[in-house]
Structure 1
Amino acid sequence: MGVRIWEDNWLPNQQGFKMWSPKPVGCDVSHVFELIDFSSGLWKRDILQRLFLPFEALQIEQIPLSSMENDDQLVWADSPTGFFTVKSAYHCIRTWKEQENTSPSVATSDHVWKKLWKMQVLPRFAHFLWRALKGVIPTRQKLWNKGVRCPMFCPRCDNATETVEHALRDCPWFRRVWFASPLGFSWPNVVDQSFSAWCHEVIISAPQEVGEIFATVCYHIWKARNLLCFEGKDTSERMVVSHAMETLTEFQETQKQVRVAAVNANQRSGKLWRAPESGVLKVNVDASGSGSRWGLAVVVRNSFGNVVAAATKAMHVELGPEYAEVCAIQFGMSFALERGFSEIAL
């Protein structure tokens, strides 16, 4: 008996134990034993990297291989012996029932929110995903339930009511977006899982870089939907994915440059930048110039060191560098308050 790669539950550290990577078209590899080089006793790394998402390929490589040539066998994951027992099944059922009866905000909110806000993405991407998890994005079904008399069907396919699940996952058009993305997600026609549960699973179980791509693609799916609804602009699936990844890469590269620049500046000044407390934004300001021509700069970072906002301003200062520094502080405070940042440290 051979364990099937895409059909059987065999990944020990993955939620649901199944592969998330879609099976490539024309792939002739179907069983786990085909991924093993029995002559060396190692996994075939080239095949893993070709067939699977990077984090899944790494998971597979970390599974120890036995030197004994035993046949594959199915085991019961919720028993220490690997054998099914009525007692272990009873405990599983009780756990599942408890999870069903516990609201997602209570069961997973702390862990999910911590991972969400640590993502290296534009703040509006993380905020959109937070709204989607809360079920408050204005889908047509949501608007109808609130008394807004608008069309109920999806503006893209016009074949189903536009729920959160349909708008961000189940619409055939957006399924193609997910498949074209670096995540390569694909699933059956009917998914018996809420968007919130699916999102929790991705954020909690997958590495941070997967969550960052997930949040970015979700935002751009919704953006493409809005462009179609309100401006009549039709965007191709590949353009949605391309723009999403360009935006994410540009932001992350900028973050790296800002961190390098901050380290270099701290080394020159002999001071180290200190992160503020959780929930507090730190406002750093500076003034640079000579004579009467000065430039003011402000950078706002969160407790993870991510840049939340930044601005520059040119001005004439006749009273010297000390007065320019005061102007920079005033500029920084005004900039932060104008954007509604209440918990700040200078």
Structure 2
Amino acid sequence: MVFLMRYSLITRFWWGQRGEERKTPWVARESLICTKEQGGMGFRDLKGFNIALLARQLWHLHQRPESLVSRIMKAKYHKNVNILEARIGYRPSYVWRSLMGVQEFLVDGLRWKIGHGSAVRIWGDRWLPSTPNNIVYSPPMGLPVDSVVRELIDEEEEKWDETILESCFPSDMVDAIKQILLRNSTEQDRLIWMDNDDGNYTAKSGYQVWLRRFQEQHDPRSVGDPALWKLLWSLNLPPKIKVFMWRFTREALASGERVNKRNPERSGACPFCDQHETQSHAFFECSWASRIWRSTGVARCFELRGDSNCMDWVRNVVKTVPVSELEEWIVLLWALWRERNAHLFNGKKMEECDIGPRAQLYLEEYRYQQEERFHSPTPQVNQTWARPPAGRVKLNTDVGLDYTGAGLGVVARDHNGAFILAAVKRIKGVRDPTLGEAMAVEFGFQLARQHQMASPIVETDCQVVVNRMAAPERVQTELGTILRNIKRLATETGGGQVQHVSRKANEAAHIMAHTKARWDIADVWFDRPPLNLLDQLASDDVTSLSS
């Protein structure tokens, strides 16, 4: 009830209510809550946000079992199970009842990240990312029903035991299991939040999950053309005209027909021709509007309309005219509606021949002001490979992905630009680009340590990996295991660095990542690079001299 009251205040403000006056909401609350890409206005739903915040508290209690409040909760409500398996119990406090109210929401978004595998049941727990609900859906075969994931791992080689997998699961599930990266069998199994890159639950990601479910349940009509809405909101137009365009496209303007339906005492006639005024009539069918369209020389808008509604007209226009012309048409629509309201409510009427030119002038002035406001020189980004400082080695790394797995490419050069080595290794089952980029950086550091390169500079064109290296211990997903190993290798090589570089400056590593190679075995070239790399090395050497 409290949420509805507060949301009522928000919607009243949105529809322009002042004081005790009442304004008509022309769009349902659910449509306003949907994101702009889904045809809404992106209003935050207070109930959903409260659920997201409560889930964050539940996540913190689960992640910090040693904290005082966690120990108090455990002693009182869930002595023998963890907080994600607890029940509401007898005579719960308001706090505990609230936490249990969001337990299902949080648990539905979690899966296990495999470490040693001893805490995760093969059948029943969520640990298999590429299957529905992240569970093993095949019936138990070859192993007891209460078996754990550790029984599927070859502990000596720290990889999946393919013999056991093939005897217990169908082939598609074997492939899905083999895609899970096994790196450190001493790491604990962890529950991670699937809708955040680092595996940690946040209120923001939780609200996005709640909103996605809300949109699917409450406003399926608006879900269907995100590309159209994205284009409309990206147009170079004043915000008030963008909002008008949203209302026009959703047919949420106060046309005579809609006003008459809400209040039969109000006339539904057009203020210019006394015909029944639908939204389509107000902009296209009215003789007054059609004369203005024709006076501007864009009469073909009628050909695009046909018998369709306003949403279909917008779709047809977007497919047919360039963006600059689309902006002009939208401003003219807004001008028509403004003049219609001025005539209806204030008795004012502008000369028809002036409406189009004034709308065009308004748009031109806005564009000019935007150019003046945002015009600034674009910073020049170094797009060429640069030599490392004297005495250091630079290793460029990249990943190449296909349906079978990933190719990890590395090229090492010294401060003179001289070639040291190139390497490629293929890894089965890797499909995630960010994970692949991190594995390529790790491969670069492994080569640097193996060949005693002191304080190497390892470059990647993946900004996410570079950013995550600032705090790898916070990343709970499989990516975190790789990042922590990179940090360890960087320390072992005497303070190695990970740097971001543009894709153009990383072409050599890109070529190596797409070079054919054997599975799980590194192919390395010393002194003489592979033939497919010669031209790029020569090009990098020339550009590095001029940079």
TM-score (norm 1): 0.43
Pick the structure with greater CA Rg.
2
